[in-house]
Amino acid sequence: MNNIPENTEARKIGIMGGTFDPIHYGHLLAADEAHAAFGLSEVVFIPTGRPPHKANKKVTSPEDRYLMTQLATVSCPYFSVSRVEIDREGSSYTIDTLRTLKAMPEYAGTQFYFITGLDAVLDIVSWKNPEEIMAMCKFVAVSRYGYTHKRMEEIPPELREKIIPLEIPLLAISSTELRERVRRSRSIRFMVPQPVEQFIRKKSLYRDNTGE
């Protein structure tokens, strides 16, 4: 035994939640920028099972969204994908996911960084138990096209003070726009990783996309 002190700094892991219908370079860039900015050891992508805020919209099956998320992240050694939300019955609430992750032995002592785009952060008051979520993890708000960090002033101060803004290069890509492009037979080639594009084509996803 020697006297070298153990590294007592908590392990830091990013969580990137989303519907990922489909996953695109905006999601991957946000995760990668947070990974670098906060020295995260990994980022776990968590596709939602049934997104509560998209209850009356048509959403691709959880398994197909999970597979696309795997295809998009497999080449990056510090990205992984969790089934925790798609395997859970009922709506997917972030608070339940955080509680589940915190209870897992492999995450004992881990500091979680929950990564979201500014559009999602501005919605935070409508989430289930926002104060508790903020107490359980660090909350990162990345830039998103069409939003400025100044808009964080709209968030109640007791929640806002816990949110860490992170400027990232703007990629004006959204899954909504991608679904619409596929429906109109427009190219999505340089907006999603190639295996995701191939999967969408192979399974004929979004061809009859009606949005609702």
Closest CB to ligand ATP among residues 108, 154: 154
Name the H helices within 59-193: 62-73, 94-102, 118-121, 130-136, 157-160, 175-183
In whole angstroms, the minimum distance from the beta carbon of 104 to ligand ATP comes to 22
The reply to whether 22 sits near ligand ATP by the rule CB under 6 A is: no
The reply to whether 171 sits near ligand ATP by the rule CB under 6 A is: yes
The answer to whether 19 and 179 are in contact (CB under 8 A) is no
In whole angstroms, how far apart are CA 109 and each of 76, 99, 140, 152? 24, 13, 19, 30
Secondary structure class of 75 (helix, strand, coil): coil
The answer to whether 111 and 13 are in contact (CB under 8 A) is yes
The answer to whether 85 and 97 are in contact (CB under 8 A) is yes
Which residues is 14 bridged to in the sheet?
43, 113
Q: Which of 13, 14, 15, 19 binds ligand ATP (CB under 6 A)?
A: 19
Cα separation, 203 vs 201, in Å, equals: 6
Q: Which of 176, 198, 201, 207 binds ligand ATP (CB under 6 A)?
A: 176
Closest CB to ligand ATP among residues 101, 143: 143
Considering only 17-25, 36-44, 96-104, 181-189, which stretch makes contact with ligand ATP by CB under 6 A? 17-25
Q: x/- site string to ligand ATP, residues 133 to 162, per CB under 6 A? A: ---------x-x------------------
Q: x/- site string to ligand ATP, residues 60 to 89, per CB under 6 A? A: ------------------------------
The DSSP element (H or E) to which 188 belongs, if any, is none
The reply to whether 196 sits near ligand ATP by the rule CB under 6 A is: no
Interface residues toward ligand ATP, by CB under 6 A? 18-21, 26-27, 30, 116-117, 119-120, 142, 144, 171, 173-176
